[in-house]
């Protein structure tokens, strides 16, 4: 059974800092890996999707990397802003069952 772990569970940084969120998964036979953002009381918003054959994806200040062999992904946020404060979830798309397995998320607070 695929297990997805995100460390740290919570992170607080000053505005302007570059930061890295970590995601690890136990089964490297994945189809893709996705990063989502969740604001308090809201649903999830898709940020980035990395295919299993890719190493990274970029969108604006966000860069996600994937190392399938080691079972790890990172989400890099450059020049963080208070508006980036949210919970960030990593989800692994499994090759069998057509389902996403989610991590518990990292709660990010960016202080002005």
Partner 1 sequence: NAGVTQTPKFQVLKTGQSMTLQCAQDMNHNSMYWYRQDPGMGLRLIYYSASEGTTDKGEVPNGYNVSRLNKREFSLRLESAAPSQTSVYFCASSPQALYGYTFGSGTRLTVV
Residues that bind partner 1 (CB under 8 A): 4, 31-32, 34, 36, 41-46, 49, 89, 91, 93, 98-100, 102-105
Q: For residues 43 and 112, which CB has a smaller minimum distance to partner 1 in the complex?
A: 43
Task: Report d(CA 2, CA 28) in Å as an integer.
Answer: 9
| E-only strand ranges, 15-105 | 19-25, 30-38, 44-51, 56-59, 62-67, 72-77, 86-94, 100-102
Toward partner 1, which CB reaches closer, 1 or 60? 1
Minimal CA–CA distance to 33: which of 82, 103, 81?
103
Distance in Å, CB of 103 to partner 1, minimum: 6
Measured torsion, CA atoms of residues 24, 7, 14, 34, in degrees rounded to the nearest 10: 40
Query: 49 - beta bridge partners?
Result: 34
Cβ closest to partner 1, residue 15 vs residue 104? 104
- Residue placing its CB nearer to partner 1 in the complex, 42 or 61: 42
């Amino acid at each position: 059974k695929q297990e997805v772990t995100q460390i740290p569970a919570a992170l607080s940084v000053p505005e302007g800092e570059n930061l890295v969120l970590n995601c690890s998964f136990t089964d490297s036979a994945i189809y893709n890996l996705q990063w989502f953002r969740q604001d308090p009381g809201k649903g999830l918003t898709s940020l980035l999707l990395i295919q299993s054959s890719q190493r990274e994806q970029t969108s604006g200040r966000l860069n996600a990397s994937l190392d399938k062999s080691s079972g790890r992904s990172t989400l890099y946020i450059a020049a963080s802003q208070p508006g980036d404060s949210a919970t960030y979830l990593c989800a692994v798309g499994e090759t069998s069952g057509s389902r996403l397995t989610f991590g518990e998320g990292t709660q990010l607070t960016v202080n002005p």
